[in-house]
Structure 1
Amino acid sequence: MHSGAFSGSTFVHTTRTLDQPGSHTTVHRLTEDGRPEPNGPAPVEISSHVQRPLLQLRVESVAVGPRELRTHLFLPSWHKAGDAQLPVLVDPYGGPAMQKVMAEQTSHTLVSQWFAEQGFAVLVTDGAGTPGRGPRWEKEIYGDLIGPTLDDQVAALHATAERHPELDLDRVGIRGWSFSGTLAAAAVLRRPDTFHAAVAGAPLTDQHLYDACWKERFLGLPDQYPEHYELSSLLADAPKLSRPLLLMHGLSDDNVFVANTLQLSSALLAAGKPHEVAPLSGMTHAAPTNDTFARLLGHQLEFLQRHLVGRPATVPC
C-alpha cells in the first residue's frame, strides 16, 4: 500500500506491506512537474520507532468464488495439517467506505490474528458495496444494504472451506462493529443455517435512525422508498432469532445511537428470544484506546468460545 504527500519540491512516500509491521517512509526532492531533481540529494529515510507487535501474521490472501471475493484467512500460528478442525470466526466490515482486505498490517489484521491464536480460523471478506472494485460493485447494495453483503459473506465462507478442510462449518461465528455489527446481527437473524453465534457491536438496527444524507445515498428518500429502509432494518427480524446473540453498544455513541440496540433488544424480548446485552457506559462509537479495548475483545472471546467451543474461555489479558 502506497501513500504520498507532495508540496513544493518535497515528496513524502510511505509504503506498508502485509508481511512487515509499521511503515517505510522516504523523503524525495522533486522538480515542479514531479520528476526527480537532476543531481539532487538522495532520498532520505525516516526511521520508524513504533513498537513492534508481538503477533506474527499467518494469513492467506485469495480472491475466491465466481465473484472473486477478496479475502484474508488467518490461522493460528500453532495449527498444523491433520489437527482437529477449527471453529470459524467471520470478521468483516463488509460495507461501503471501508476495506479490510488490504496488503498492509493494521490494527484490524492484528485483532483478527489475535482471535486466530485463541483457536479460530478467522475469515475477512470485502464483498458487495466495499470500495476498490469500481462504481458498479459499490452500487450493488442500492436499495438493500444487507442482502447482497450477507450473501457475499456466505459465499466466501463456503468457497474458503472448499480450499481449507480444517474449517468447521458446523461452528461458525461472526463479529463486527458499526456496519459489520449490523451485518453480524443480520447473519444470525436471517442465516441461522450458516451462522451459529454473533457479536454485534453498535449495530444500526433501524435505518431511519442514521444520518439522512448518508443513508439516502444508498436507500433513496425514506418517503419515496420506505421498502428500502424496511428491507435494510432488523427490528422485524427479531422473532426469527434462534442463535446466541451478544449486543454491545456505547451509551455515549453519537454516531449510531444506542436506541438502535435498545429497540432490537426490546423487540427480541417481546418475541421471547433470549440474548445478551453489554451496555458500555461513557463509550462513544470509536474503539477505546486504553485497556478497555482489550477487555472488550476478551468479553467477545468468552462469548464465542462458550457457544462455539462449548467450554468457558481462558481469556488472555
Structure 2
Amino acid sequence: MKLNKLIIATAFFLMWSGVCSAQKTLDLEEVITGQLIQTQGIGAMTWLKDGERYSRLERNTETGGTDVVAYRAKDNKREVIIPSTLFINKETGKPIPIRSISWSADNEKVLIYTNTKRVWRYDTRGDYWVLSLKSGTLHQLGKELPESSLMFAKFSPDGTRVGYVSNNNIYVEDINIGQITQLTHDGSRTIVNGTFDWVYEEEFNCRDGFRWSPDGNYIAYWQSDTEGTGVFDIINNVDSIYPTILHFPYPKAGTTNSAVKVGYLPASGGTTTWIKIPGDPRNNYIPRMDFIPESNELFIQQLNRTQNTNRVWIATIGNATPVNIFTDTDAAWLDVNEHIQWLDKNRYFTWESERSGWRHLYRISRDGKDIQPITKGDFDYIEPVGTDIQKGLVYFIASPDNFTQRYLYCANLSGKGEAKRLSPETEPGQHRYNMSPTGKWAVHTYSNASTPPIIDMVSFPKHQSVRMLEENTKAKEQYAALGLNPKEFVKVTSGELELDAYMIRPVNFDASKKYPVIIEVYGEPAGSTVQDVWGGGDLWNQYMANQGYIVVSIENRGANAPRGRKWRKCIYGEVGTFASEDQARGIQDMARRYPFIDLSRIGITGWSGGGSQTLNCMFRYPEVFSTGIAIAAVADQRTYDTIYQERYMNTPQNNPDGYRKGSPITYAGGLKGNLLLIHGTGDDNVHYQNCEMLVNELVKAGKMFSQLSYPMRSHGIYERPGTTLHLRKSMAKYWLEHLPAGGK
C-alpha cells in the first residue's frame, strides 16, 4: 500500500514538473535582469589581416587577466597569440583591464584602451598603453596628460608613433623615445580639435576626428568652433546639497550651428593648412573625411544645411583648394555615405544612392562622369557586408520580398547580371555577417522573433556552413519553457496603403472574447519596430501580453524599412502627421480583421520619437487611443537638434507650418484619455524641457495627466540603482490601472 502511494505521488510530481517545465510564469524582475533566457555569443571579434583568423579577448582564470586568442576559420584551431602575462602593469603588479585593442600595420605592436570614461553616449575617453610584442615591453602613453583624457589613439602607418586627442588638442607620441609633440594649441572650451560637438556625435556618428595620411607624414583633422551656438544647461539637484550645472553647446532647430572645417598639418608639428571648401561653415556640414588609399588625397563629403545636396571634394596635400568631383542631390534629404570603397587602383569609388527610387550601390569614376549601378531592381540595398576583390563580388543585405526580414545577397562589382540570394531559404528571419577582409569567410548569425541566435562559420562564395559556433540550445529550451505565444507578423491598411505589423496574444487567449491593445510605436525615419529578429524574445512585451493585453506594433509611413525611397521620404516636411494617422487607421483596420480586438481599450506607448508619436496619437485621435505612456518625448520639434530635425523637416523658418503640425504640443488641448509622461531630468538628447513645456500647456488647457520624472537619468533612463525595474513596474501599474486587462 505504501509503495502504491509512493508510485502515485511520484507520477503526480513528474506530471506537475512537466507542466512547470513546459510553461514558466514570467516574473517582471527576471524579465528586466535577463535571467529567463540566457543566450550565448562568441564575443567581440576582430578579423586579423590575413583574413584566415579572427581574434577575441578571453579571460584567463589562472592569472585573472585577459588573453588575446586567435581562431582559424578553416578548422577552429585555437592559439593564444598574446598571453595575459604581457598585460601586467609593472608598477601595480596587476593586469590592465582591457576595453579594446588595436594592432599596428606590421602586427608587431598592440594599442590597449583602458580606464575608460563616458562622453555623452560612448566611453571615448580613457588611458592607452602600447605593448611591443618583440620585446615584451609595455608602457603608458600620455603620462604627462590628465588621467583618462586620451581619445581615439591610433598607430601611424609605420607603427613608430601614436596620435591621440586630449582636452580638444591633437598630440603625436614617438613610441621608441616617449617624446610627445603637441600638434594643435588652440583647443579650448569652444574650439574642438580632433573630435566633435554633441550634435555631430549624435546625428552623424562622428567622434574620432583625425586621420593619419597613408605615408604617415601628415594628420588631417576636423575643427569645430562652438562659439555662438546655443548652450543648454542641465541642473543636477541630486548629487550635492547645492545644484551643479552642466553646460554644453546644443544647436536647436533653426539656430546657429558650430563652424566646422577640416585641415591638415605635418605629423612632426607645424602650421595647419585649412582646406578652402566653399560655403558658410555654420550652414554646411562635413560629416565624412578620409584619405584615399595609398595617396595624399582627402575624400571629403559636404552636406548643405538642408541635407539635400552632398558635394564630394578631393583635396591634395600641398594644395588648399579642393576639387568638386561629384554632387548627389535629392528633393527630400540624403544620408551620409558610410562605406566608400575604392576600386581599380582608385579610378572608381562605390556610392549608395536612391536616384532610381530604390537604394542601390553604384560605381562612380573619380571624375564623377561615369556612374554605373552595381545593384539594381525594385528592392533596397540595405547595408554592405564585404567584398571579394579577386572574384569581383560585393556582398550585401537586402530583403525584396519581406520588409521585416534580412538576407545576404551578392552581386558583380561590374554591375553585370542579377543579384543572387545566399542566405538559406530554410532560415526565414534575419541574417547578420561579420566577413573577413578577403571575403572568403564570415561569422554568420541567424535568428527570428522566436529563434535565439544560431552562429556558424560559413565559407564563400558558396555560403557553405563549415562548423557551428553557437547553437544556443539552452536558450531555445528556456524560451520554449515559458510557453509564450510567438509574435505574429500580419498586414494592416491605412487607407489604400498596406503596412507591416505584429501582434502578441496573451497566454490562455480566447478568440471569442475582446482584449485591450497596447501599441508599441516609434514611427520616425531613424528606425523601425516591426522586425522578425530575436531581440531577446521581447520579454517585456510578452510580460505585458500575459497580463491580458494584445501587444501590437505597426510600421507607419516614413519608418526606416526597405520599401523604397517614396515610402521613406513621403513624410518629408511632415514628420509626426502621417505617423499618427497610420497608427490610428492601422489599429482600426486590425480590429476589423481580428474581432477579438476591443476598440474601446486601445493604449499606445513609445520612447523618444515613439514618445512623440504617442502624444500625437493621444491628442489628435482621442476617439481611438484611450491611454498612453510617452517616454522621453519631443513635445515641440523646435527644441530638438539641427541635424536630425532639419534633415526631415527643413528649418522652422522655412517650414513653420510643418513644425506646428508635427509637434504634439500644438494639440495638447485634444487630450481626453489617460496619459503618463516619463522623462529623465538629465536627458542631454531630448531635453527635460520638452516635458515641462508640455505640462505647462496641459495645465493651461485644464487636462489631467500623470507624470514621472527620473532625476539625472539620461535619454535611456537606466543610470543609478533600481531605475530600469522601477520604470517598468511603473508602466505595468499604469496600464493595469488605466487600461483594464483581460478578455471580455
- TM-score (normalizing by structure 2): 0.39
Write out per-residue CA displacement over residues 60-117 of structure 1, whole angstroms, 9 at most, x where no aligned residue. Answer: 21122232210001110211232x3111111122221212111112158332222111
**CA separation of 1:309/1:36 partners in 2, compared to 1, >3 Å: closer, same or farther?**
closer
Match among 467, 479, 497 for residue 44 of structure 1: 467
Match among 64, 76, 87 for residue 492 of structure 2: 64
Structure number with the higher helix fraction is: 1
Match among 605, 610, 614 for residue 184 of structure 1: 614
Alignment of 1:223-238 (within 5 A): 223-238=653-668
Q: Could you say which residue in structure 2 is the equivalent of 1:314?
A: none
Q: What letter matches 1:74 in structure 2? A: I
- Structure 1: how far apart are the matches of 2:653 and 2:540? 40
Q: Which segment drifts farther, 101-110 or 146-155? A: 101-110
Tell me if 1:247 matches 2:670.
Answer: no
Tell me if the contact between 2:710 and 2:717 (Cα under 8 Å) persists in the aligned partners: no
Structure number with the higher strand fraction is: 2
Alignment of 1:1-317 (within 5 A): 1-7=430-436, 8=438, 9-20=440-451, 22-30=452-460, 34-35=461-462, 43-47=466-470, 52-53=478-479, 54=482, 56-65=484-493, 66-82=496-512, 84-107=513-536, 109-132=538-561, 133-288=563-718, 291-309=722-740
Gaps of 5+ in 1: 312-317
SS at match of 2:538: helix
Tell me if the contact between 1:76 and 1:120 (Cα under 8 Å) persists in the aligned partners: yes
**CA separation of 1:188/1:95 partners in 2, compared to 1, >3 Å: closer, same or farther?**
same
Gaps of 5+ in 2: 1-429
- Structure 1: how far apart are the matches of 2:620 and 2:607? 18
How far off is 1:35 after superposition?
4.9
**CA separation of 1:79/1:310 partners in 2, compared to 1, >3 Å: closer, same or farther?**
closer
Q: Which segment drifts farther, 256-265 or 239-248? A: 239-248
Q: What letter matches 2:469 in structure 1? A: I
- Structure 1: how far apart are the matches of 2:711 and 2:469? 40
- Structure 2: how far apart are the matches of 1:44 and 1:186? 50
Tell me if the contact between 2:615 and 2:628 (Cα under 8 Å) persists in the aligned partners: yes
- TM-score (normalizing by structure 1): 0.88
Which structure has the bigger radius of gyration? 2
Tell me if the contact between 1:207 and 1:215 (Cα under 8 Å) persists in the aligned partners: yes
Q: What letter matches 2:487 in structure 1? A: V
How far off is 1:216 after superposition?
0.9
SS at match of 2:651: coil
Write out per-residue CA displacement over residues 261-288 of structure 1, whole angstroms, 9 at most, x where no aligned residue. Answer: 1110111112221111100123111252
Tell me if the contact between 1:57 and 1:110 (Cα under 8 Å) persists in the aligned partners: no
- Structure 2: how far apart are the matches of 1:151 and 1:64? 13
- Structure 2: how far apart are the matches of 1:19 and 1:201? 27
SS at match of 1:204: coil
Q: Which segment drifts farther, 288-297 or 150-159? A: 288-297
SS at match of 1:43: strand
**CA separation of 1:310/1:3 partners in 2, compared to 1, >3 Å: closer, same or farther?**
closer
How far off is 1:15 after superposition?
0.9
Q: Which segment drifts farther, 286-295 or 229-238? A: 286-295
- Structure 2: how far apart are the matches of 1:226 and 1:55? 51
- Structure 1: how far apart are the matches of 2:648 and 2:621? 23
How far off is 1:18 after superposition?
1.9
- Structure 2: how far apart are the matches of 1:253 and 1:36? 45
Q: Which segment drifts farther, 233-242 or 136-145? A: 233-242
How far off is 1:298 after superposition?
1.9
Tell me if the contact between 1:87 and 1:308 (Cα under 8 Å) persists in the aligned partners: yes
Write out per-residue CA displacement over residues 229-282 of structure 1, whole angstroms, 9 at most, x where no aligned residue. Answer: 111112232222222111000111111111001110111112221111100123
- Structure 2: how far apart are the matches of 1:184 and 1:89? 11
Q: What letter matches 1:243 in structure 2? A: G
- Structure 2: how far apart are the matches of 1:70 and 1:16? 19
**CA separation of 1:168/1:36 partners in 2, compared to 1, >3 Å: closer, same or farther?**
closer
Tell me if the contact between 1:188 and 1:198 (Cα under 8 Å) persists in the aligned partners: yes
Q: What letter matches 1:43 in structure 2? A: V
How far off is 1:190 after superposition?
0.9
Q: Which segment drifts farther, 104-113 or 244-253? A: 104-113
SS at match of 2:707: strand
**CA separation of 1:28/1:194 partners in 2, compared to 1, >3 Å: closer, same or farther?**
same
SS at match of 1:113: helix
Deviating beyond 6 angstroms after TM superposition, the runs of 4 or more aligned structure 1 residues are none
- Structure 1: how far apart are the matches of 2:548 and 2:528? 25
